[in-house]
Amino acid sequence: MNLPKYKDVVKAHERIKPYIHKTPVLTSKSINEITGCEIFFKCENFQKVGAFKFRGACNAVFSPRLKELEQGVSAHSSGNHAAALALAARMRGVPAYIVMPENAPEIKINAVRGYGGKITFCKPTNKARESELEKVNKKTGAQEIHPYNNFNVIAGQGTCAKELMDEVSSLDSIITPLGGGGLLSGTCLAAHGLNPEIKIYGVEPKGAADACLSLKTGKIEPSLNPVTIADGLLTSLGTLTFPIIQSHITEILTVNENTIIEAMFLIWERMKIVIEPSAAVTLAAIIENNELFKNQRVGIILTGGNISISQASSYIKKEPG
């Protein structure tokens, strides 16, 4: 199996630099005091399309020769990958065909349309998404860009950790959210390429802990009926992401829903920036595992900030009291 390596992350970074934002690394004295460690927040909520997903989509779209993409690119996605691929395709001058479930958040549908993506709606099941995408590809000749189980996407996502570690020296640990594993596997390649001793943690909600189970059983366990507000972390690991994570990961941590909300509010209130629930699991992991990270220098990736006002309001009602 041809898996990406650290050198592919470096090549990806050079390729996408002209198109991505070099997002800031922020700190918060008050959050450091609360958690007992020094945290460096890599703010991908300030990335184009409001999420780290643009890095991988951009690397995938700009990697092949132009003639290979003349018919466009495609994906099924209800979230940030859809918008990221639509924008990257527009920047390259090729069409993007996106299959979205009919119950996808309106804010994300509007984003895909705004970036020029051609949307086909389907029933909200994985089978329906895959079936509809197959029809779209057959009709258009578009090349599918998988949201995480793709060589170039993984290498592109790894550029986020590379930027963080290039800017902040001597990190003890780095933490990323974990859904399909594109970001975490890219982070593994970048982090251990730069510092073989750094500890790498993935975080997933307790209600969507398929990756934690997968590491225990040694095989990819499907994500069956996941229940969590972190809607970007619902997918199963991929055949490319799983072996990379197996080889590099220190531990996968799982967190409670109330702690995700607590962490999200803490970042909103103390740092005055907007993040979505999927991004908040990293700080939630530190809150729930305080002794594990005590007195450490910890890098965490805030993966995105795509949340509507109405969605945010619903979480305010659930704020732990």
Distances (CA, A) of 63 to 76, 152, 160, 196, 240: 20, 7, 18, 28, 18
Cβ atoms < 10 Å from Cβ of 315: 17
Q: Are 96 and 117 in contact (CB under 8 A)?
A: yes
For the record, the structure tokens of 99 come out as 């299959």
Helix (H, G, I), strand (E, B) or coil at 312: helix
Between CA 305 and CA 114, with CA 282 as vertex, the angle to 5 degrees is: 20
Q: Of the candidates 124, 144, 164, which is a domain's last residue?
A: 144
In a domain, 253, yes or no: yes
pTM of the entire structure? 0.94
Do 228 and 270 belong to one domain?
yes
Active site residue 7: no
Domain that includes residue 85, residue range: 54-144
Do 16 and 67 belong to one domain?
no
In a domain, 25, yes or no: yes
DSSP code, position 204: E
Sheet holding 118-122, edge to edge: 118-122, 96-101, 73-76, 143-144
Q: Of the candidates 82, 112, 144, which is a domain's last residue?
A: 144
Do 211 and 250 belong to one domain?
yes
Catalytic residue among 28, 42, 48, 53: 53
Do 88 and 44 belong to one domain?
no
Do 45 and 72 belong to one domain?
no
Distances (CA, A) of 319 to 135, 235, 258, 272: 43, 26, 8, 17
Do 197 and 243 belong to one domain?
yes
Do 295 and 237 belong to one domain?
yes
> Given this model, what pLDDT does residue 317 score?
58
CA distance linking residue 221 with residue 227, whole number of Å: 16
Do 198 and 272 belong to one domain?
yes
How many domains are contained in the chain?
2
In a domain, 220, yes or no: yes
CATH number for the domain including 82? 3.40.50.1100
Paired strand residues for 122: 101
CA distance linking residue 302 with residue 112, whole number of Å: 21
Do 165 and 281 belong to one domain?
yes
In a domain, 105, yes or no: yes
> Given this model, what pLDDT does residue 200 score?
98
Q: Of the candidates 144, 174, 201, which is a domain's last residue?
A: 144
For the record, the structure tokens of 65 come out as 């020769």
> Given this model, what pLDDT does residue 97 score?
97
Amino acid identity at 288: E
Do 256 and 288 belong to one domain?
yes
- Of 163, 170, 202, the residue nearest 184 (C-alpha): 202
In a domain, 1, yes or no: no
Active site residue 173: no
In a domain, 321, yes or no: no
What are the residue ranges in the chain where pLDDT is below 50?
Answer: 319-321
Distances (CA, A) of 106 to 82, 220, 318: 13, 32, 22
- Of 226, 173, 216, 166, the residue nearest 194 (C-alpha): 166
Do 230 and 300 belong to one domain?
yes
Catalytic residue among 78, 173, 214, 278: 78
Do 259 and 292 belong to one domain?
yes
In a domain, 201, yes or no: yes
